[in-house]
Structure 1
Amino acid sequence: MKAYGIARVGEIAPHPEIGEYLRRIDETLAPFEGRFLVHASPFQVVEGDWPAGGVIIIEFPDSEAARAWYASDAYQAILPFRTRHIQMDVILAEGVPEPYSAAETADKLGF
């Protein structure tokens, strides 16, 4: 089952380390088959309040790969370049099995 790294990007304090982080992140993802699905792409808020900033979504083949990437020596080596200069909320989330039906989930929950 696919898994995703999802981030809400907050305040950014421009610094050369951010460029270094961006130049090196792809090489940290490759061994774990991670790939960007959304990376600072334009978005539109259609419900609720979404703070200013951006959205990042990275896809992995499974949650084990997502966790292993985040904990990897290669990613941990560059992580401070980002955390010192960009405020983010980051989660790792499992996708849903194929095929998936929200209606079946409602039935299982008794709604």
Structure 2
Amino acid sequence: MTAYAIAHLHDPKPGHPEVLEYLDRIDATLAPHAGRFVVHGGATQVLEGSWPGATVVIEFPDLAAARAWYDSPAYRAILRLRTDHIKGDTILVEGVGPGHTAAGKAAEFRGASG
């Protein structure tokens, strides 16, 4: 099942030389794990709550591939180039399969509580 690495970058500093180096090098770390950017700091419309900063979403074939990318020596070698200069939160999350519905999730919750 498709999985995603999602980062909420609270105080982006895209012009910092080390952040620019990170950006120059990250694509090569994604390729061996079939990762690809689906959101990379695009325009954000906040509808509820607050969301300061930028959002990044990277898609992977599955959670194992996402974890393998994050733990890879190639990515670990550049990670500090970003984290030393940009505060944020990063998660890996599994997507949903074909035919997923919110009603189906509700039924799943009902079954788990009964």
TM-score by length of 2: 0.91
Instruction: Choose 88-97 or 11-20, whichever is displaced more.
Output: 11-20
- Number of the residue aligned with 2:30: 29
Amino acid at match of 1:96: V
Q: What is the rounded CA distance, in whole Å, between the counterparts of 2:108 and 2:86 in structure 1?
A: 41
Cα distance in 2, alignment partners of residues 42 and 25 from structure 1: 21
Q: Partner of 2:110: helix, strand, or coil?
A: coil
Measured after TM superposition, the shift of residue 48 of structure 1 is 1.9
78-87 or 6-15, which moves further after superposition?
Answer: 6-15
**Residue equivalent to 1:46:** 47
Return the alpha-carbon distance in structure 1 between the equivalents of residues 17 and 97 of structure 2.
41
Structure 2 unaligned spans of 5+: none
CA–CA distance in structure 1, aligned partners of residues 90 and 53 of structure 2: 13
d(CA) in 2 for partners of 1:45, 1:93: 21
TM-score (norm 1): 0.93
1:63 aligns with 2:63: yes
Q: Report sequence identity in percent.
A: 54
Shift of 1:109: 1.8
Gaps of 5+ in 1: none
Matches within 5 A, 1:2-21: 2-13=2-13, 14-21=15-22
* SS of residue matched to 1:96: coil
Once the two structures are superposed, residues 6-42 of structure 1 have per-residue CA deviations (whole angstroms, 9 ceiling, x without a partner) of: 0101123552111100000000000000000000100
Separation in 2, partners of 1:41, 1:25:
18
**If each structure's strand is expressed as a fraction of its own residues, which one has the higher value?**
1
RMSD, matched Cα: 1.3
How many corresponding residue pairs? 110
Question: Which whole-Å CA distance do the structure 1 matches of 2:110 and 2:92 have between them?
Answer: 28
Counterpart of 1:80 in structure 2 is 80
CA distance in 2, matches of 1:11, 1:108: 38
